[in-house]
Structure 1
């Protein structure tokens, strides 16, 4: 498959290397360079604020699209772009690679398998001090720090929103706030706190921040018959039995990026095969 990576920042360079590692003919650059390359698929790794432009470009040309999370800076125009993509028969995926993390996969299997009974509540949180993200770079110039580029804790740290919805189910109602509370020089929110009510009845609380001086990512899943606790890099444990559902995985992150891209490529290949089959004359 010919894959063009739009945007060659840190995320884009990783996607380009992974696409090549998976054996694909891959190049990268600006969206304007993609036409000449003639891709079967694009990976959108540009700032969040321009994700939708790239998705529209792909949908209009019948090119599969893997869009880094989140899919866009707001919901405006997303539905229309996805409708065009569906009409074109292309695969669109969003890069929530933590769905492929062994611990979260184990948690999802345990919750769906009834290991803790009916899910009642979830607490998920992530925090990391924004100036520490890319040592040697001025955090104020990063997309995460700028509203015009689709930054802010709520959008940039949205993995937890996705994983909770993925495991706990659709959200029926949500309340919360996303605000700037620190002395960091940003024009976006640096902390967000959400409370969600899920269709199955569970309640979740989700915390996201650019402020924690020590990297923090953890979640706790409380059911009628047990609890699952997980902290980044450590095991996922079923309590009170203290059963290990997933062993400690301190080096699992890189593999999730590769797995997410591979999953997208396989889905896109199915779409291509079905399109080719549909175009074949009946014998």
Structure 2
């Protein structure tokens, strides 16, 4: 299979590297408007690159495209790919631009449309979802935060999409976390939001949120999201009567209360953790691999993923409502 990676920044490079590891027989081509990125990809990955999707369509026999550009550019690029009858894997979108149009176009052209939601493919999250189940009510406290300039230390946050109000850093965290939280605890039916701007950063949006949630299952949560914390933090506590789960974002930090021993015990997962130097400890490679496998399964065998554009549209509406409530 020949695949096209559109956008050769940090995520595009990651997708190329993982595709090479998972499917060494695949042909991989690249697209980026920046000559320096094309040259780097050609040198480091040995792939042929061009400067536009139009040129790629002329030159390469492509079956699937990975859209790894900044979120506000996704909609038009996805449309272009679908018009070429390419199956599409897209990174997180953050805005609903073109959703209805692209879902309709994918159906009409017989193309597969896949949306990244990396946390749904993490083994820790799968374990938590299984343990929470559907029969009992839980409470959770979840804090996710990291100082905005530290997200990509190699570039200014004002040059990166997290500095834009429409695709801001808090919104991205919500779009990463809410899909798995709603799959685990059920649809959010009521919220209360406190938010403001604490930092002196050059941004025009609220940089921290405290969100109280009530789910249709009866479970409740306190979700704390920020781009303020100087220490990168992901800390989750889930509890009920005689039940407690704790997680700090890494596979080896998942712990569960054992009522028989009255102790908190580490949960041993089956998947060996894969971590890449240069990223925070809670950025684990396994989930990125798992969702690529899921996409290829969708393309080859028609296996439907549990999360896609229709589900994400509802999550984006929820995020819009949280921002408006604040």
Provide TM-score, normalisation by structure 2. 0.72
Aligned equivalent of 1:61: 84
Give the conservation status (yes or no) of the 8 Å contact 1:119–1:224. no
**CA offset at residue 214 of structure 1?**
0.7
After superposition, the Cα gap between the structure-2 partners of 1:270 and 1:254, relative to the gap in structure 1 and judged at 3 Å, is: same
Give the conservation status (yes or no) of the 8 Å contact 1:51–1:67. yes
Alpha-carbon separation, structure 2, partners of 1:62 and 1:173: 41
Give the conservation status (yes or no) of the 8 Å contact 1:44–1:66. yes
Give the conservation status (yes or no) of the 8 Å contact 1:48–1:151. no
**CA offset at residue 229 of structure 1?**
1.3
**CA offset at residue 82 of structure 1?**
1.6
Deviates more, 1:231-240 or 1:11-20: 231-240
Alpha-carbon separation, structure 1, partners of 2:80 and 2:141: 38
Gaps of 5+ in 1: 273-283
Within the candidate set 7, 26, 29, 1:27 is matched to 29
Alpha-carbon separation, structure 1, partners of 2:184 and 2:111: 26
**CA RMSD, aligned part only?**
2.6
Aligned equivalent of 2:207: 190
Aligned length: 266
Structure number with higher relative contact order (C-alpha < 8 Å, ≥ 6 residues apart): 1
In structure 2, the residue corresponding to 1:62 is in which secondary structure? coil
Alpha-carbon separation, structure 2, partners of 1:229 and 1:206: 15
Aligned equivalent of 1:261: 292
Provide TM-score, normalisation by structure 1. 0.82
Superposed CA offset, 1:189-212 (max 9, x none): 422333333222222332221111
Within the candidate set 163, 172, 177, 1:145 is matched to 163
Aligned equivalent of 1:82: 103
Alpha-carbon separation, structure 2, partners of 1:220 and 1:139: 30
Gaps of 5+ in 2: 33-51, 276-282, 304-326
Alpha-carbon separation, structure 2, partners of 1:163 and 1:39: 32
Within the candidate set 57, 61, 66, 1:43 is matched to 66
Alpha-carbon separation, structure 2, partners of 1:82 and 1:179: 35
- Please tell me whether residue 162 in structure 1 is matched to residue 162 in structure 2: no
- Please tell me whether residue 202 in structure 1 is matched to residue 203 in structure 2: no
Deviates more, 1:257-266 or 1:83-92: 83-92
Aligned equivalent of 1:110: 131
**CA offset at residue 172 of structure 1?**
3.2
**CA offset at residue 154 of structure 1?**
1.3
In structure 2, the residue corresponding to 1:176 is in which secondary structure? strand
